[in-house]
Chain A
């Protein structure tokens, strides 16, 4: 097991290194932060721009900048934002919990919806509830999430006046963003639960359980669902990574003070340190989740460890 984890970690280091290199390089392909900062300032001379670039450390070669960025990461120092000089680590420290909370809330909501629906669809296989659930998940899958978000704001905040349209102020702030994300996740999860359940339900031990005279829900939830959970856990784990990526748009619509908002603003302002820092942390996070899933998988199913 230790060897397995080590190998995974070793791979992870390379993935993260590649991500930092690509991000640092790509963000420098266009746009000059010094010009972005001076905006419409009248009479900006090349000398002024040079001064600003020097102050930002941009007069150095790409690799010099990249290596000082890497050096910083090793000691947890991601540099300072070009806009106002706030330490990037501090900005990420505020944004990451906000994003994680939202991601967890979305995931939990999605599980709470998709498991009962998926099980029900499996039980009523081929009959109208199954068809209906299938159609609904297709509809859910087809929604662009920003559109869904705006519609929810119009309905819950403007028409009904029940929920705050944006911001992170309390439990009620989570409802709409988490639901937006959850609806999209649920669409796939329902299908997954259904398929996985169907497979398990056709196993012999389920027949045995039934013939023992166990109650239906005991068979379904104690025997079948537990055994269907393995692919589900993997998938949801991986989904968590993808979730962090697709949260950007939802965060923007709901003005959620998370990593997506941070990265988005940083791209527009060519705020290299903030962008590099936030993307690296997200990459680290996704890589970590993947390792965790692999390990969890290995724990659940010993066959995988030995492969």
Chain B
């Protein structure tokens, strides 16, 4: 939802509230069906951290802030906020006359309950709590005002309040029905309310016409869990799902060629790089790392392997990310110069370079082979080593058992370079098994205390330039978010983070 649409929606709500008797709610009929890859198993916001959860639950819940497909932060259940007490306190004014799907009123108590639960014992059992650790507690000022008392500064918090663990939940409902019931019978304040859930099969939502943002145009949204890409596409072609969320690059032409379908390919959060080993092997040498950066033709890889559905990158972030520096360009491809640099660095022909990657990633397998081809052209002796993803991520990388290069793939929904950069380059982090650079540490720590947007952006850009100068990785590409959409779906603006909100969408 863009801001202007948001205002229009607000206007409509106001009009609807002003004249409730004027007409029965004009609701266009229709069911939209979406294919999801995984069933998160629980629809409770604090239980999971899976994109498919958000693709569905963003319609069930609201956060204090919200973020539409344009990635701009907007008011949600909070209408305004201000920083108090030298940034130690954030005060939120809450939207009034909002109700949960079960009729329970939304108020300051609901906000406090939500965050007490997230930050307390219940949240401890799930993956969401750690995202909100910067909050100490929530205080009720009055029925429509809350204060977030901060443990430490968190400039990304306002964004984080727009999704996942920060979705506002109904206190009375959860206290009465219990957590377990809530997992499979979610209630929020969002534009669609829960209707039915068959684990591993489907989730059905119905329109919630009293939503503060205006009544949805659809009657129903059905989410079907389909893990296999070929199956999702077959269902899409047969017109039995309207939006497919799993379209591998190789299958994009199938969707493009179907007359009833549209391929949506937009800039997404996922970035891919070959991280380099700075402790062992030939990549220990900065000049070798620089040479390798020059030896990979990103454009060619994007064209051949990703069929054009990606953009070359110079740092490990998408152009949508906060901290992105448009002036930082990828190192141009120059095999001859790279060869010279390797020679100057004293690298013997036939020196080994091993690429570790996630074996289940068919796309990256080809990318790794292409990269190996370029390294071979440099006179090196490349090899590629597939691992099962959990083994690579939980053992090989954190324990520093990688080869000279390894596959890094990253995509955070917050679109803030802080999250990525801190985990990737701060010493002691699991994704950074070899590096310990005091200068980088200092920069990363400093930006976490700064609320000034411009100043923080400058530091993050400095981080990205520093990482590029040190050639800690070979940044490859930012891959697109790809969806297959039936042409009968109208007014659908695809969000890069797949957090769908179907208020304005209709179907023919």
* Mask of B171-199 contacts with A, CB within 8 angstroms, 1/0: 00000000010011000000000000011
Q: Are B131 and A43 in contact (CB under 8 A)?
A: yes
Q: Which residues of chain B are within 8 angstroms of A38 by Cβ–Cβ distance?
A: 49, 127, 130
Q: Are B42 and A254 in contact (CB under 8 A)?
A: no
Q: Are A85 and B47 in contact (CB under 8 A)?
A: yes
Q: Which residue of A lies closest to B224 (CB)?
A: A167
CA distance A150 to B411 in the complex (A): 31
Q: Which residue of B lies closest to A43 (CB)?
A: B130
Q: Which residues of chain A are within 8 angstroms of B231 by Cβ–Cβ distance?
A: 153, 165-166, 252-255
CA distance A86 to B184 in the complex (A): 9
Q: Are A255 and B227 in contact (CB under 8 A)?
A: yes
Q: Is A298 among interface residues, defined by CB-CB distance under 8 A?
A: no
* Mask of B137-157 contacts with A, CB within 8 angstroms, 1/0: 000000000000000000010
Q: Is B419 among interface residues, defined by CB-CB distance under 8 A?
A: yes
Q: Are A37 and B200 in contact (CB under 8 A)?
A: no
- Between B238, B410, B422, the greatest number of chain A beta carbons within 10 A of the residue's beta carbon is seen for B238
Q: Are A39 and B50 in contact (CB under 8 A)?
A: yes
Cβ 8 A contact of B124, one of A36, A51, A85: A51
Q: Are A164 and B126 in contact (CB under 8 A)?
A: no
CA distance A229 to B393 in the complex (A): 53
CA distance A83 to B411 in the complex (A): 21
Q: Are A165 and B41 in contact (CB under 8 A)?
A: no
Q: Which of B237-285 contact A (CB under 8 A)?
A: 237-238, 240
Q: Is B230 among interface residues, defined by CB-CB distance under 8 A?
A: yes
Cβ 8 A contact of B38, one of A31, A95, A164, A265: A265
Q: Which residue of B lies closest to A49 (CB)?
A: B130
Q: Is A232 among interface residues, defined by CB-CB distance under 8 A?
A: no
A127 to B: closest C-beta gap in Å: 41
Cβ 8 A contact of B127, one of A52, A90, A153: A52
Q: Which residues of chain A are within 8 angstroms of B393 by Cβ–Cβ distance?
A: 35
Known: A30-B391, A91-B200, A253-B228. Contact between A41 and B128, CB under 8 A? Answer: yes
Q: Which residues of chain B are within 8 angstroms of A140 by Cβ–Cβ distance?
A: none
Q: Which of B1-54 contact A (CB under 8 A)?
A: 38-42, 44, 47-50
Q: Which residue of B lies closest to A95 (CB)?
A: B200
Q: Is B59 among interface residues, defined by CB-CB distance under 8 A?
A: no
Q: Is B390 among interface residues, defined by CB-CB distance under 8 A?
A: yes
Q: Is B226 among interface residues, defined by CB-CB distance under 8 A?
A: yes
Q: Are A158 and B234 in contact (CB under 8 A)?
A: yes
How big is the A interface, by class? Answer: 35 or more
Q: Is B394 among interface residues, defined by CB-CB distance under 8 A?
A: yes
* Mask of A22-39 contacts with B, CB within 8 angstroms, 1/0: 000000001110011111
* Mask of A138-171 contacts with B, CB within 8 angstroms, 1/0: 0000000000001001100110010011111000
Known: A255-B227, A261-B200. Contact between A83 and B238, CB under 8 A? Answer: no
B192 to A: closest C-beta gap in Å: 20
Q: Which residues of chain B are within 8 angstroms of A83 by Cβ–Cβ distance?
A: 39-42, 48
Q: Which residue of B lies closest to A154 (CB)?
A: B234
CA distance A111 to B226 in the complex (A): 31
CA distance A167 to B133 in the complex (A): 41
CA distance A44 to B40 in the complex (A): 20
Cβ 8 A contact of A84, one of B40, B388, B419: B40
Q: Which of B392-413 contact A (CB under 8 A)?
A: 393-395, 410-412
Cβ 8 A contact of A31, one of B40, B156, B226, B390: B390
Q: Are A41 and B227 in contact (CB under 8 A)?
A: no
B488 to A: closest C-beta gap in Å: 16
Q: Is B362 among interface residues, defined by CB-CB distance under 8 A?
A: no
CA distance A276 to B240 in the complex (A): 34
Q: Which residues of chain A are within 8 angstroms of B418 by Cβ–Cβ distance?
A: 42
Q: Is A45 among interface residues, defined by CB-CB distance under 8 A?
A: yes
CA distance A104 to B418 in the complex (A): 55
Q: Which residues of chain B are within 8 angstroms of A35 by Cβ–Cβ distance?
A: 390, 393-394
Q: Are B227 and A261 in contact (CB under 8 A)?
A: yes
B246 to A: closest C-beta gap in Å: 12
Q: Are A48 and B230 in contact (CB under 8 A)?
A: no
Q: Is B303 among interface residues, defined by CB-CB distance under 8 A?
A: no
Q: Are A42 and B414 in contact (CB under 8 A)?
A: yes
Q: Are B199 and A94 in contact (CB under 8 A)?
A: yes
Q: Are B390 and A36 in contact (CB under 8 A)?
A: yes
CA distance A169 to B199 in the complex (A): 15
Q: Is B201 among interface residues, defined by CB-CB distance under 8 A?
A: yes
Q: Are A43 and B125 in contact (CB under 8 A)?
A: no
Q: Which residues of chain A are within 8 angstroms of B411 by Cβ–Cβ distance?
A: 40
CA distance A51 to B118 in the complex (A): 13
Q: Which residues of chain A are within 8 angstroms of B129 by Cβ–Cβ distance?
A: 48, 51
Q: Is A257 among interface residues, defined by CB-CB distance under 8 A?
A: yes
CA distance A168 to B225 in the complex (A): 12
Q: Which of A244-303 contact B (CB under 8 A)?
A: 252-255, 257, 261-262, 264-265, 269-270
Q: Which residue of A lies closest to B47 (CB)?
A: A84
Q: Which residues of chain B are within 8 angstroms of A137 by Cβ–Cβ distance?
A: none
Q: Is B235 among interface residues, defined by CB-CB distance under 8 A?
A: yes
Q: Which residues of chain B are within 8 angstroms of A135 by Cβ–Cβ distance?
A: none
* Mask of B435-456 contacts with A, CB within 8 angstroms, 1/0: 0000000000000000000000
CA distance A37 to B224 in the complex (A): 21
Q: Are A161 and B238 in contact (CB under 8 A)?
A: yes
Q: Are A42 and B131 in contact (CB under 8 A)?
A: yes
The 9 closest A-B pairs by CB, nearest first: A84-B41, A84-B42, A31-B390, A55-B125, A83-B41, A42-B419, A165-B234, A38-B127, A48-B130
